A and B are shown apart, each in its own frame.
Chain A
Amino acid sequence: MMDSNTPEPAAQPEQDGRRSFIKQAGGLLGLALAPPLISQAERLTAMSKKVEGVTEMRLKVNGTVRTMQAEPRVTLLDALRERLDLTGTKKGCDHGQCGACTVLVDGKRVNSCLTLAVMVQNKEITTVEGLAKGEELHPLQQAFIDHDGFQCGYCTPGQLMSGVACLKEGHAKTDDSVREWMSGNLCRCGAYPNIVAAIRQVEQSGFKG
C-alpha cells in the first residue's frame, strides 16, 4: 500500500523506491509509457513504499471508496473497466491519443489510460457514472441529449468529462475556444458541431461547475 500522505512534489525522492518503480515500469509497461509520464509517475510513486505483485488498492470513485486486488501496472482505465465494472469510461486507443478514457482526478481531466491506478489512490476520481445525481442528469448530459452531441456514444463519456472540465477551466467562453480545448477528444461519428453547441449552451445558462 502507498502511504496515505501525499508528500510535497519538491521533496527529494528516495533512491530505492525510485529504482524499483523504474524497474517495474520499464519491464512491465515497456513502451506503453510515454517519457513525460514516466517522470511524473516516478515523482509521485518515488515517495511511496515499494509496490509489487497483487496488492489491495483503494480508489475513491464518484465519492465511494472501492477496494480491489491489482498489480501496480494496472492502469486507472483498466481498474475502472475490468476491476470495478465501471465500463462507462471507454478505451479507444490505450495510448493517450483519443480521449475516450477521460476522467476527472481531483477535478482535473486526465487520460485514465495513461494513469496507473496505484498513483491515484487518495484522490477524488469522477467518472461519467458520477456526473448525474441519481437519476437527475448533469446539465451537460442533458445538453448532449438535446443537441444530439453523439451518435454511437462511445466517445461520449470522455467528451462529457472533458466538457465538464472545459467549462470549469473557463475555456468555454467562445465557440472557437471550445473547439480548441475539446480537440483532445476524438469523435469518429463527427458530432463536433453538436458537442460545441451543447457545451456553449451550458456555459450560457450560467451554470457554474
Chain B
Amino acid sequence: MDTEPKFFETNPTAGVVGKPLNRVDGRDKVMGRAKYAAEYNNLPGLAHAVIKTSDVAKGRITGFDTTAAMKQPGVLAILTYQNIPKLAKTPNDADGKKAIGAPMGYLPLTDDQIHYAGQPVAVVVADTLERAQYAAALLKVQVAADKPIASYEDPKAQLFDPEKIQDGKADGHVKRGDAQAAFAAAPVQLTHKYTHAINHHSPMEPGATTAHWEAPDRLTIYESTQGVTRTQKSVSTMLGLSAEQVRVVTKYLGGGFGCKGSAWPHTILTVQAAKAVGRPVKLALTRPQMFTGMGHREDQTQTLRLGATKDGKLTALIHEKTSTTSPWDNYAESNSKIINMLYECPTFEASYQLARANVMTSTFTRAPGEAPGSFAIESSMDDLAYQLGIDPIEIRLRNYAEKDPTNGHPWSSKSLKQCYARGAELFGWSKRNPKNGATRDGRLLVGWGMATASYPVHNSQGTARARLYADGHAVVQSGATDLGTGTYTVMTQVACDALGLPMDKVRFELGDTKLPTAPNSGGSVAAGTVSSSVYMAVQDLWQKLIKVAVLDKKSPLYRAKIADVEAKAGRLQLKSDPKKGEGFADLMKRADMSDVEGNGQGRYGSGYEDAQAAANADQSKKDEAAHHSMHSFGAHFCEVKVDPDLGTVRVTRWVSVHGAGRILNAKTARSQIIGGSIFGIGAALMEGTVRDQHFSRYTNASLADYHIPVNADIPEMTVEFIDEHDPHINAMGVKGIGEISMVGVSAAVANAVFHATGKRVRELPLTPEKILGAKAV
C-alpha cells in the first residue's frame, strides 16, 4: 500500500531495530519472576484439578465408582459427563466446531464414548494438588472396551480420499500440468517412499489453565496459549458468553511450537470445574497427558516421484501422502505445498489419503507440512544429484525457481542463491569429497549434507496501541504472545525507533485480551504483523500531534500542510526543510497534553499488498490476488559423524543461512534459528512416539522415553542472515523465522548420513538400527 508509511522510509537507518540487544524480559526470567499460567497462586480459595484419562482407546463408559475418592479429605468435586456443568456449544458438530475454532471435533465429558487412549473421562477437584491426584487415582471408571484402530497401517483401517485437508484449509488434490505423462517420459525417474514418526511438540511448560469466575458472567483465565484472542473466542463461544466477558491472560509462555495454538479440552474443563465448585481452579496437564492432550504431528508416509532430464532439470513431481487422522476430523499437514513451489518444475500433482483411527486429532507442529515435505523433496534432490554426479548445491541451482512455479508470480524477495553461497563458504563446502563413505575421522565416518529451506509469508492482521507521554516515555500494547521468540523485546525495539526514544523509556505489554487484538503466534506471522501494528500505531500518534502543531501559532510548523510534515526520531519537521520543526515534548507542553495515543493496524502478507482484492477471500484466493509470492528462503549445512559399528549419528557442525526479510533482533533471531534447527535434529535423529498397534496407546509418553535433543547432542552452530529489503510484505519488511528454522533440517541430516555411509534412510527418525540395517548404494 503506497499511501501508508513504511519503516524503510521513515527510518532509513534503523536505530535499535535489528541490534543484538538482550531480552527486555531476561531479568524476570533468570530471577524466577516471570509468571506462567499455573503460577497465579494468590486467587481466593484456589483449588486444584486433575484430569483422569482413559486407558483404553475405544469403548463406552458404563459407570463410575466414586465412593473411595469422595471420602478423601479435601475433595470438592468429581466431574464426569453425567454432572459437569453444561455448555452452550460444543465442537461435536461441524457448526459448533467452526464457531469455536476448535482443534478437534469432539469434546470429552460430553457423552459416555471413548475414542482415544488418554481421553479425559473425569475431572477431580480438591483443595490441594496431592489430594486431587490421590482421589483421581482412587476413582474407578468402568468401561466396556472395544477393539481400536491404531493407525493408517492397521489392517482394519479404511483409507479415504479427502477433498480438503488441514481442517478444510488446504486442498486434498493439487494438479499443475500433466505430471503423470511428464514422469512417464522422463529420462531420469526416481520413486521413493518416506515415513515420518509421530512427533510431539513437548514444550517444557505443560499446558495449563487457571480459571477464575469473578462473577457469574465474568471469567478470567490464565492460560498457556499462543493466542489469547483465539482462546477467548473458543471459550466464550462454548460458554455462550460474549467475547469481552471472558478475559484471557498469557504473560509468559513456556514454549508452544504449535500445540498451544488452539484451545484443547483441558482449558474448558478447567473453566467448567471452576464453575462447579464456585472457586478458582488450576489445572496443569501431566507430562504423559501432554502426549494425548494437545495434538501431535501425525504418522505419515509420503511417496515422491521425481522425473528429470539427464542434466538434472526437473520435469515432473508427483507426491502422495497417507496419514492417520482422528474419528472426526480430516487433518493432515499439507506437505505438498513446499514440494510444489521449491524448484522450477513444469508439472506437479499431489494427493492425500487419510485413515481414521482411535487417536486424537493431530495439529500444526512447527513448520507443519513444510518440515516433513522438505524431508521428501530434499532427500530426493540429493539422490538426483548423486545419481547424476552433480554437486548437491549445483543440482538445486539448475532448478532454481526465478518465479513462483505454482502461479507464475514474481517473488516479493528471494535471496536463496546468496544463502547457498554464504552457507557453503562458512561451511567449507568446496572441500567436500563427492564420494560417499570416503571421509573418515579415526574410525568414524564423516558426512556433509545440505538442504534448502522455505516458508511462506501467510496472511494476517493485527492491532496495537501506543501512548506517548509528554515527559518522554511510552507504553505500547498489543494482545500478542511471546513464546520465547522475543516478542517483548523486538516490539520494544520497533516502538523505540518509531518514537525516537531509548529502550529504557518504552515498555511493551502483551498477552491479555484487554489489549488490542493480535493474531496467534503461529505460522511465523507474529513478528511481521505485530511489529507493523506497533509501527502504525506510532504513526497514528504522530499524525495527531502534527494536527496540533499546524494549528499552534507558537509552533514552527504553524500553518504547514499536514502532508508536508513528517516525524523523525521524535521530531516533527517539514519534509522539505527538516530544520523547521520541533520535538514532541515542547509541543505537548504548550498544548497542555500529558499524553497522546495512537492506534494502528498492521497487515502482513498478500493482504498488505492488495487489501482490497484480498478482502473476504480465503487464504489461497488472497495469495492469488497479490502480485507477488511471498516466502522466506534459506539453506542448512550439516556435518555428521557416524559410528560404523553402532550406527549412532552425531551432528558435529551446523551452518544455517536465511533470507527472511528484516531481522528485528540479531541475537534473538539467531537463537530462534538455532532452536528450530535443534527441533529438526530431534525429528531427524531421535523423536518418535510409538503407538501400540493393538491397544492404540503410546508406549513412550514421557520425557525419559520420548527423546528430544539434550545439550550433549548439539554442537556449536553458525547462523547468518542475508539482508533483505522487501517492501511488499508489510510496513516493517519482516517475514518471520519461527518455522523456516526447522524446514529442511531432517533432510540436511539424512543427506549427511548418506554422504558418510552411502546409506539412504528414508524413515524418520534415523535411529541406529535403521542405519545398521540399511545397505549402502
Measuring CB to CB, which residues of chain A are less than 8 angstroms from any residue of chain B?
A: 28, 30, 71, 73-74, 78, 81-82, 85-95, 97-98, 100, 127-129, 131-132, 137, 141-142, 144-146, 148, 150-157, 160, 175, 178-180, 182-196
Also in contact, A196 and B204, with CB within 8 A (given A129-B32, A152-B483, A157-B32): no
Also in contact, A146 and B205, with CB within 8 A (given A152-B483, A157-B32): no
CB closest chain-B residue, reference A132: B31
Contact B671–A188 (Cβ < 8 Å): no
Task: Assess whether B95 is interfacial by the CB under 8 Å rule.
Answer: no
Chain B residues, Cβ within 8 Å of A129: 31-33
Chain B residues, Cβ within 8 Å of A194: 671, 674
Chain B residues, Cβ within 8 Å of A156: 29-30
6 A-B pairs with least C-beta separation = A88-B32, A152-B484, A154-B254, A151-B484, A190-B678, A153-B29
Distance in angstroms between the alpha carbons of A14 and B435 in the assembled complex: 69
Distance in angstroms between the alpha carbons of A128 and B672 in the assembled complex: 24
Contacts A95-B287, A97-B702, A195-B711 aside, 5 further interface pairs with beta carbons under 8 A come to: A152-B204, A153-B252, A179-B712, A183-B711, A191-B671
Distance in angstroms between the alpha carbons of A97 and B128 in the assembled complex: 24
Also in contact, A93 and B702, with CB within 8 A (given A183-B710, A190-B674): yes
Scoring A89, A92, A146, A154 by chain B CB atoms within 10 A of each residue's CB, the highest score goes to A154
Contact B204–A155 (Cβ < 8 Å): yes
Q: Which of A74, A87, A98, A148 contacts B23 (CB 8 A)?
A: A148
Least CB distance from B130 to A in Å reads 5
Q: Which of B30, B130, B672, B711 contacts A151 (CB 8 A)?
A: B672
Contact A82–B711 (Cβ < 8 Å): no
Also in contact, A90 and B205, with CB within 8 A (given A128-B31, A148-B668): yes
Contact B204–A98 (Cβ < 8 Å): yes
Q: How many contacting A-B pairs (Cβ < 8 A)?
A: 188
Contact A186–B22 (Cβ < 8 Å): no
Distance in angstroms between the alpha carbons of A129 and B100 in the assembled complex: 40
Q: Which of B19-34 contact A (CB under 8 A)?
A: 22-23, 25-34
Contact A188–B202 (Cβ < 8 Å): yes
Least CB distance from A194 to B in Å reads 6
Task: Assess whether B341 is interfacial by the CB under 8 Å rule.
Answer: no
Distance in angstroms between the alpha carbons of A183 and B703 in the assembled complex: 13
Measuring CB to CB, which residues of chain B are less than 8 angstroms from any residue of chain A?
A: 22-23, 25-36, 38-39, 41-42, 48, 128-130, 134, 137, 201-206, 252-255, 257, 284, 286-287, 483-486, 667-668, 670-672, 674-679, 702-704, 708-717
Chain B residues, Cβ within 8 Å of A92: 204-206, 287, 703
Least CB distance from A187 to B in Å reads 7
Also in contact, A154 and B36, with CB within 8 A (given A178-B711, A179-B714, A190-B676): yes
Least CB distance from B123 to A in Å reads 18
Contact A128–B32 (Cβ < 8 Å): yes
Contact A190–B679 (Cβ < 8 Å): yes
Also in contact, A82 and B204, with CB within 8 A (given A141-B30, A148-B22, A186-B708): no
CB closest chain-B residue, reference A71: B130
Chain B residues, Cβ within 8 Å of A71: 128, 130
Also in contact, A146 and B484, with CB within 8 A (given A156-B29, A188-B204): no
Contact B714–A192 (Cβ < 8 Å): yes
Main secondary structure of the interface of A (DSSP, over half): loop
Q: Which of A91, A153, A180, A191 contacts B675 (CB 8 A)?
A: A191
Distance in angstroms between the alpha carbons of A100 and B32 in the assembled complex: 12
Least CB distance from B685 to A in Å reads 14
Q: Which of A81, A82, A150, A190 contacts B714 (CB 8 A)?
A: A190
Distance in angstroms between the alpha carbons of A127 and B130 in the assembled complex: 22
Contact A186–B204 (Cβ < 8 Å): yes
Distance in angstroms between the alpha carbons of A185 and B712 in the assembled complex: 11
Distance in angstroms between the alpha carbons of A142 and B257 in the assembled complex: 27
Distance in angstroms between the alpha carbons of A86 and B36 in the assembled complex: 12
Chain B residues, Cβ within 8 Å of A128: 30-32
Contact B675–A148 (Cβ < 8 Å): no
Contact B23–A183 (Cβ < 8 Å): no
Cβ contacts A to B, 6 pairs, < 8 Å: A82-B41, A90-B204, A97-B704, A131-B31, A179-B712, A190-B678
Contact B711–A148 (Cβ < 8 Å): no
Chain B residues, Cβ within 8 Å of A193: 674, 714-717
Main secondary structure of the interface of B (DSSP, over half): loop
Distance in angstroms between the alpha carbons of A128 and B36 in the assembled complex: 15
Distance in angstroms between the alpha carbons of A175 and B718 in the assembled complex: 16
CB closest chain-A residue, reference B284: A91
CB closest chain-B residue, reference A88: B32
Distance in angstroms between the alpha carbons of A185 and B708 in the assembled complex: 11
Least CB distance from A125 to B in Å reads 14
Distance in angstroms between the alpha carbons of A47 and B42 in the assembled complex: 36
Contact A88–B712 (Cβ < 8 Å): no
Chain A residues, Cβ within 8 Å of B672: 151
Scoring B22, B137, B703 by chain A CB atoms within 10 A of each residue's CB, the highest score goes to B703
Least CB distance from A175 to B in Å reads 8
Least CB distance from A11 to B in Å reads 30
Distance in angstroms between the alpha carbons of A93 and B32 in the assembled complex: 18
Distance in angstroms between the alpha carbons of A141 and B27 in the assembled complex: 8
Chain A residues, Cβ within 8 Å of B670: 148
Least CB distance from A48 to B in Å reads 20
Least CB distance from B280 to A in Å reads 14
Distance in angstroms between the alpha carbons of A138 and B166 in the assembled complex: 47
Also in contact, A187 and B31, with CB within 8 A (given A179-B711, A180-B712): no
Distance in angstroms between the alpha carbons of A131 and B486 in the assembled complex: 24
Contact A192–B711 (Cβ < 8 Å): yes
Chain B residues, Cβ within 8 Å of A88: 31-33
Distance in angstroms between the alpha carbons of A153 and B255 in the assembled complex: 8
Distance in angstroms between the alpha carbons of A71 and B128 in the assembled complex: 10
Contact B23–A154 (Cβ < 8 Å): no
Chain A residues, Cβ within 8 Å of B25: 153
Q: Which of A97, A157, A179, A182 contacts B703 (CB 8 A)?
A: A97
Contact A151–B41 (Cβ < 8 Å): no
Distance in angstroms between the alpha carbons of A192 and B712 in the assembled complex: 9
Contact B714–A153 (Cβ < 8 Å): no
Contact B711–A152 (Cβ < 8 Å): no
Contact B203–A145 (Cβ < 8 Å): no
Least CB distance from B19 to A in Å reads 13
Distance in angstroms between the alpha carbons of A85 and B282 in the assembled complex: 14
Also in contact, A82 and B712, with CB within 8 A (given A97-B704, A148-B22): no
CB closest chain-A residue, reference B255: A152
Also in contact, A148 and B667, with CB within 8 A (given A94-B286, A153-B484): yes
Chain A residues, Cβ within 8 Å of B29: 150, 153, 156
Distance in angstroms between the alpha carbons of A78 and B35 in the assembled complex: 16
Also in contact, A153 and B34, with CB within 8 A (given A95-B704, A188-B203): yes
Q: Which of B137, B257, B715 contacts A188 (CB 8 A)?
A: B257
Q: Which of A78, A93, A141, A180 contacts B31 (CB 8 A)?
A: A141
CB closest chain-A residue, reference B201: A188
Contact A154–B704 (Cβ < 8 Å): no
CB closest chain-A residue, reference B673: A190
CB closest chain-A residue, reference B20: A148
CB closest chain-A residue, reference B39: A87
Chain B residues, Cβ within 8 Å of A146: 22
Contact A85–B42 (Cβ < 8 Å): yes
Contact B671–A137 (Cβ < 8 Å): no
Least CB distance from B651 to A in Å reads 12
Contact A145–B23 (Cβ < 8 Å): yes
Contact A152–B714 (Cβ < 8 Å): no
Also in contact, A152 and B203, with CB within 8 A (given A81-B39, A98-B703): yes
Chain A residues, Cβ within 8 Å of B203: 152, 154, 188
Q: Which of A94, A144, A180, A187 contacts B204 (CB 8 A)?
A: A187
Contact A82–B129 (Cβ < 8 Å): yes
Contact B255–A154 (Cβ < 8 Å): yes
CB closest chain-A residue, reference B671: A148
Distance in angstroms between the alpha carbons of A185 and B255 in the assembled complex: 15
Distance in angstroms between the alpha carbons of A129 and B284 in the assembled complex: 22
Chain B residues, Cβ within 8 Å of A182: 711
Chain A residues, Cβ within 8 Å of B31: 88, 128-129, 131-132, 137, 141
Q: Which of A97, A145, A153 contacts B254 (CB 8 A)?
A: A153
